[in-house]
Amino acid sequence: MEIAALFDLSGRKALVTGASRGIGQAIAEALAGAGADVAVTARDVSSLEETCGRIAVKGKKALPFSLDVRDVSACASVVAQAAGMLGGLDILVNNAGYEEIRPSMDVDEALWDTIVSTNLKGAFFCAQAAARHMSQTGRAGAIVNLCSLTSYVGVPTAVPYGSSKSGLLGMTKALAAEWAALGIRVNAIAPGYFRTAMTDVFYENADWQEAMLAKIPQRRFGALGDVAGTVVFLASDASAYVTGHCIPVDGGYLASI
């Protein structure tokens, strides 16, 4: 098989959560660029207009859905609707996430529940709904979870977030082991330092930027294409024998500590 054909997603149907901006938007656009029709979700469906426009420019079908991934029944409903309207579901990218920096002594139950329910619980039930559909229809599938550097290292004032992302890494491995027999691969990526709306507060601090760049061997922050290309690889036949792994996309940060 030609190498380019291994990365071709023509005819594939994908669902990307949290796709209104930033990394999620870039992933949705990249999947469409590789040939997939893409359903996208956000809590505010009107915020998906730009993402759908970018998918349409690629000549692919774009379907927007309102979804708060903390709502288990809504996860199942949206997955079913997306699969029905797309004519199947081959790829799920669990990108929806929430982070709030707060000293651990000040973390309350509400913040803990919001972060863990969004980043871990929501990802599981979206994956479960997608896997049920894939297994019932006999279509092989690929699920990609968005982990984090905090899946590997401790970050002060980010304990709920790090806990959720560490759990997501464990979930990725366990589901990969369980669902391989169903023809479903489950992998993850761990983005390093990328400037997005959720992380913009850090980048407003010049001293923080200088300190972080000194820790990254490539001496640059991530670009959205760095993440998008890795997701296309994990969603495609190019990674057909890869499951249960998390790829850090971090400019060498983890390798150097």
Tokens 């390093």 label which residue? 192
Domains of the chain: 3-256 (3.40.50.720)
Helix (H) or strand (E) holding 124: helix 122-137
Return the pLDDT at 208. Answer: 87
Model pTM score: 0.96
pLDDT digit string (tens) for 19-71? 999 999 999 999 999 999 999 999 999 999 999 999 999 999 999 999 999 99
Distance of CA 80 to the CA centre of its chain: 19
Closest by Cα among 121, 119, 127 to 144? 127
- Main-chain dihedrals φ then ψ at residue 73, nearest 5 degrees: -65, -35
Alpha-carbon distance 88 to 84, whole Å? 6
Residues in the chain predicted with pLDDT less than 50, given as ranges, are none
Closest by Cα among 60, 77, 21 to 44? 21
Closest by Cα among 48, 56, 71 to 117? 71
User: Tokens representing 80?
Assistant: 């079913």
Helix (H, G, I), strand (E, B) or coil at 91: strand
Helix (H) or strand (E) holding 76: helix 72-86
| AA identity, residue 40 | V
Identified catalytic residue from 98, 152, 161, 253: 161
- Cβ neighbour number for residue 128 with a 10 Å cutoff: 16
Return the pLDDT at 199. Answer: 78
Return the pLDDT at 200. Answer: 79
Return the pLDDT at 1. Answer: 64
Tell me whether residue 203 is one of the annotated catalytic residues: no
Return the pLDDT at 155. Answer: 92
